[in-house]
Each structure stands twice: as C-alpha cells, then as structure tokens.
Chain A
Amino acid sequence: MSHTAQPSALKMGIPIPNSKLGMWLFLGTEIMFFTAFIGAYIVLRLGSPGWPGDPADTHINVLLGGINTFVLIVSSYCVVVAHEAMALRRFGRARTFLKVTLALAFVFLGIKSVEYYGKFAHDILPGHIPETPTQAIHKADRELEAVVRKRFAEYVSSGAVVTAQPNDIKTLATQIEAVADGGADGADKDAVESMKASVAGDIKLYRAYMNLHDHMVANISLKHPASGQEYTDARAAMKEGESFPPLTLAEVKTELNVLKADGEFGAAVSKGVFEPHPILFGNLFASTYFLMTGFHAIHVIVGMILFAAAIRQGSNLNEKWTDWVENSGLYWHFVDLVWIFLFPMLYIMNF
C-alpha cells in the first residue's frame, strides 16, 4: 500500500488553526455564560423597587473601578503587541509584553481585592445585609449575643465554670458571677483565679446585651424600661390606649457606640458587631455584584495562567507558541470585553 501524499481537491473546514476555532467556540459559550449573569443583574435591578446606589451604602469606588478599566485596556494592548511580535518572530519583545500583561493582571486583582476588602469590612455580603431599620437592630442584637456567648464560652473551656448546658446563657451568667467569689465546687481553681478579673466586665456586657435584647423583643425605646418590676410599674401607671415609644435604630447605634468605647469589652464588641446600616435591596445587589465580579476575577486568574505558561518558556519561546499567544490573547480580550460592560453597570449607573 502506498502512502503518497494526495493533493486534496478541497480544503475542508475553516481556514484557521483548530486551536483558534476551539477558542472561538469556547468564547461563544462564554458570551452566553456572562450574558446570563449580566442579564440577570439588569432584570433584577429593573424589577426591584429600589436599588442601592449611594457609594456610602455599597462602598463602590468609581475611581478604583476606572483605574481597573484602564489597567485592563493597557493589558489588552500589550497582548495584541505581544501577538504581533510573535508573528514577526521577535520573541524577546513578545515575552516582555506578556510579562507586562501578567503584571497588569496582578495590579487588577490587587485593586479588586481592595474593593472586596471594603465590602467584607462592612459585611456587605449576600444574606448578611439588613434591608430595614428593624432588621438592622435585629442583626446588631444577634452579633452582640455572639460576642457575649464567645466570651462566656471561655469560662467553660477553661474549666472555671462546669456546666451541663453551655448554651444556656442565663444560667451561665449566674455561674460566671460565682467565679468572682471563688467559683463553684468542682471548678478548676487555677482557671477561676485567672478568669476572676474579667467577670465584672463580662457580666456588665451580658446585662447590656440582655437590656438591648428585651427592648428589641418588646420594641420599646431604650429610654423606658422593657422588663422586670420597673416595666410592670411603668405599664401600670399608663393611661388606657397609651404605649411606649418604639425602639429606634439611632438609639441602638448610640448604645452600641457606648459599648464599643468600654475599656473592658469595647474591643470585642467593635470586632464582633458591625455598624448597623440598613440597605434596601442590598442583598440582591451584593449577590449580583459578587457573582459578576467574582466570575470575572476567576477568568483573570485563568488568563494569568495562560500567559505564565508562555512566559515560562523563557528564551525557548518560539513560533510554535504563536497560536498559543494568539488564543490566550483572544481570551484576554474577551475578559476585557466583559469588564467594558461591568464597569458602567456597576460603577457608573449608580442611581
């Protein structure tokens, strides 16, 4: 059987390398992938009666977004110059521009992480955001409870308090008060000694929390009693049809600021309780924001891996890598393309 090369009468397929066809097919699926997120954002934003637009609410920074846009445009330009250099067999020049692109990708992710940090620092995360003043009060109450429980847990774990019900915060408070007087029988004496000093502060914090919690449950202003004999007396002294004024967010904020300034437990409260700040439809905003920018950032990382693979060739970078650089360039331009739409939607149209 002879294997003489037959000149093909017809060149089948598309006149581009298979890898490039593959990349374009992949980019076709990517168009649908990102349009699903962007489309969901547009539809949900239009469909929501209200959307957080104030940078004081969202911690969106137009300047940082603008700088990142610029960074991506410069990097896109560098990729295209790198590809051109590959085609002209100027591999050293290509490598230099690929390195610049990779460095710019790091800059982009660095700025992105500064932005993300701003969101995390204010707990602007899906499902964490109170959307009304009442929800903000409830969230602060839950967070303060967690601080108290965390501090109480130290007494149990150290052995200063022995209890069968470590989650019963009220009983635990009575037992912790006893620690100041030498602790109950069976308690670890060394632990009692070491924990003694913090009892007064922790009990004070516990009472402040319970006071706030009672007012929240009864929805009574902090200026009036919400529990105990005082409450019963005040209630009895009221005329028919009269009621206590409701608890307000401003009162809770003032109270939290007092607790945060306390010398004994102020640091723990500051760390554990976020500034209560209701944002209408903030959760939907945070979900879509993180979905879009998060998937975009993942794409940036993948692009960096593609460039790193070419850069790793060092002086061995040759014409065999031309298609690789072209395809990763196409991918990178697509990443830039997505950002071109994300920037105006997330950073500019804030109203």
Chain B
Amino acid sequence: MSHDTHDTHHVNYLSIFFVLCGCTALSVVFDVLPLSRLATIVLVFAVAVAKALCVMMFFMHLKFEGNWKYVLLAPTTILAIGLPLALMPDVGVPYYTSTAPQRGQWGEEFAAWHNEHQHAEGAAAHTELPGAPENAESSTEKAADH
C-alpha cells in the first residue's frame, strides 16, 4: 500500500510525447479534410479526448494511482458536465426563433451589402470582406436548423 510510486513505474514519456504531437497533427488533418461539419466536430473532439486521456493517465500518473482518484475526480467531473447540460435546452438549442436585434438588422442590411460587394468586385476597398456573404448564409442555415 505504501510503496513508493516514484520508482516503480517506468513509462516511456517520449513515446507519449510523440503520440500527443501526432494527435495534434491529426486534428489539423481532420479540419482540412472535406468532411461534414458533424464528422469534423466528432473526430476533432475524439482526438482531444484521446490526448487528454494520454496526459492524465501517463503524465499525471493517474493510471498508477489508487482508487482515491475516482472519489476525488468523479463528483467534480459530473458537476462540471452538469452546468452546460443544464443550460443546453434553453440557451444552446432554443425552442424559439432568435430575435437577437443584430440578427434582424443583419438580415435587412445584408442584401444591400451583398449587392454592393458584387458591384465593386474589383475595388480594393472590398477585398477584405470575402467571408461576409458566406457567413451570413451559413448563419441563416443554422437558424433554419433550429
């Protein structure tokens, strides 16, 4: 029970380090690949969880600790997850149509701005706004999803 944990476990920390580097590269690859939005989110989060587990198990030695780790970490983890879950139904996935003022105004002004953008395609002053129409469109899609 009272054995010294310092010397008994030999982890090849360097290999864990390379796994972590590989996982980081992998999450960038998933971002670049032409996957659906949901697939990207799931894959990137899965990689993040794998990295987190590597760090916790080997760098933080949780793999070699006694059962006290569950007593200590389970309640806080449950409480931590509870907060976003509690907020999700109303704030995260609202049952009502958003009436945020900036959204309404954007809708009204967007058409005008889009036209302007089209007309002045060659003008240097407009080149810094390439993402704007796409953004507004994707947000419209998102609103429709809800």
Binding site for B on A (CB under 8 A): 11, 14-16, 21, 24-25, 28-29, 31-32, 35-36, 38-40, 42-44, 46-54, 56-57, 62, 66, 69-70, 73-74, 76-77, 79-81, 84, 87-88, 131-135, 246, 248-250, 253-254, 257, 275, 277-278, 280-281, 322, 329-330, 333-334, 336-337, 340-341, 343-344, 348-349, 351
Contact partner, B142, options A50, A52, A79, A257, Cβ 8 Å: A50
Q: Is A57's CB under 8 angstroms from B52's CB?
A: no
Q: Are B27 and A344 in contact (CB under 8 A)?
A: yes
A348 and B106 contacting across the interface, CB-CB below 8 Å: no
Q: Decide yes or no: A134 and B55 within 8 Å by CB, A35-B83, A77-B17 being known contacts.
A: no
Determine if A337 and B55 form an interchain contact, defined as CB atoms under 8 angstroms apart.
yes
- Residues of B52-87 at the interface with A, using a CB-CB cut-off of 8 Å, are 52, 55-56, 58-60, 65-66, 68-69, 72-73, 75-77, 79-81, 83-84, 87
Contact present for B102 and A280 (CB under 8 Å): yes
Q: 0/1 per residue, B120-146, Cβ < 8 Å to A?
A: 100001101111101110111011001
Which residues from chain B contact A36 at a C-beta distance below 8 Å?
Answer: 80, 83
Determine whether the beta carbon of B134 is less than 8 Å from that of A24: no
Please give, as numbers and ranges, the residues of chain A lying within 8 Å of B20 by CB-CB distance.
73, 76
**A134 vs B102: C-alpha distance in the bound complex, in angstroms?**
10
- Chain A's interface: helix, strand, loop or mixed, by majority? helix
- Give Cα A29–Cα B73 distance, bound, in whole angstroms: 9
**CB-based contact B87/A40 at 8 Å:** yes
Q: How far is the CA of A187 from the CA of B75 in the complex (A)?
A: 73
The contact of B125 among A62, A250, A329, A340, by CB within 8 Å, is: A250
Other A-B contacts than A42-B92, A344-B27, 4 sampled, CB-CB below 8 A, are A32-B79, A46-B88, A47-B93, A348-B44
Q: Which residues of A contact B14 (CB under 8 A)?
A: 77
Q: Does B34 contact A (CB under 8 A)?
A: no
Counting contact residues on chain B (CB < 8 A from A), the size range is 35 or more
Q: Per DSSP, are chain B's interface residues mostly helix, strand or loop, or mixed? A: helix
Q: Kindly state the separation between the CA atoms of A54 and B24 in the bound complex, as whole angstroms.
A: 21
Known A25-B72, A253-B125; judge A134-B105 contact (CB<8 A): yes
Contact status B138-A351, CB under 8 Å: yes
The residue from B100, B130, B139 contacting A56, defined by CB atoms under 8 A apart: B130
How far in angstroms is the closest Cβ of chain B from A17?
11
Q: Chain A nearest CB: distance from B98 CB in Å?
A: 4
Task: Name the B residues within 8 Å of A46 (CB-CB).
Answer: 88, 92-93
Given contacts A47-B93, A340-B52, contact A333 B60 (CB under 8 A): yes
State A24–B106 Cα separation when bound (angstroms): 48
Measured in the bound complex, the distance between the Cα atoms of B82 and A57 in whole Å is 32
Nearest Cβ distance between residue B89 and chain A, in whole angstroms? 10
Q: Are A341 and B52 in contact (CB under 8 A)?
A: yes
**B117 smallest CB distance to A (angstroms):** 8
Rounded to whole Å, the gap between the CB of A94 and the closest CB of chain B is 12
Establish whether residues A277 and B28, one from each chain, have CB atoms under 8 Å apart when the complex forms: no
Given that A32-B80, A80-B13, A344-B44 are known contacts, is A281 also in contact with B102, CB under 8 Å in the complex? yes
- Find out whether the CB atom of B125 lies under 8 angstroms from the CB atom of A257: yes
A130 vs B8: C-alpha distance when bound (angstroms):
59
Considering the chains assembled together, what is the distance between the CA atoms of A131 and B104 in angstroms? 11
Q: How far in angstroms is the closest Cβ of chain A from B62?
A: 9
- Contacts A16-B68, A50-B135, A84-B13; is A73 near B21 (CB within 8 Å)? yes
Tell me, rounded to whole Å, the shortest Cβ–Cβ distance linking A265 to chain B: 20
- B125 to chain A minimum Cβ distance, whole angstroms, is 5
Per the bound structure, the CA–CA distance linking A40 and B98 in Å amounts to 18
User: How far is B65's CA from A16's CA once the two chains are assembled, in angstroms?
Assistant: 9
Known A15-B66, A250-B116, A337-B55; contact A132-B109, beta-carbon cutoff 8 A: yes
In the assembled complex, the Cα of A88 lies from the Cα of B6 at a distance in Å of 8
Nearest Cβ on chain B to A118's Cβ, whole angstroms: 14
Cross-chain contact of B135 among A39, A280, A344 (Cβ < 8 A): A280
Q: How long is the Cα–Cα vector from A81 to B41 in the complex, in angstroms?
A: 33
B128 with A135: CB separation less than 8 A: no
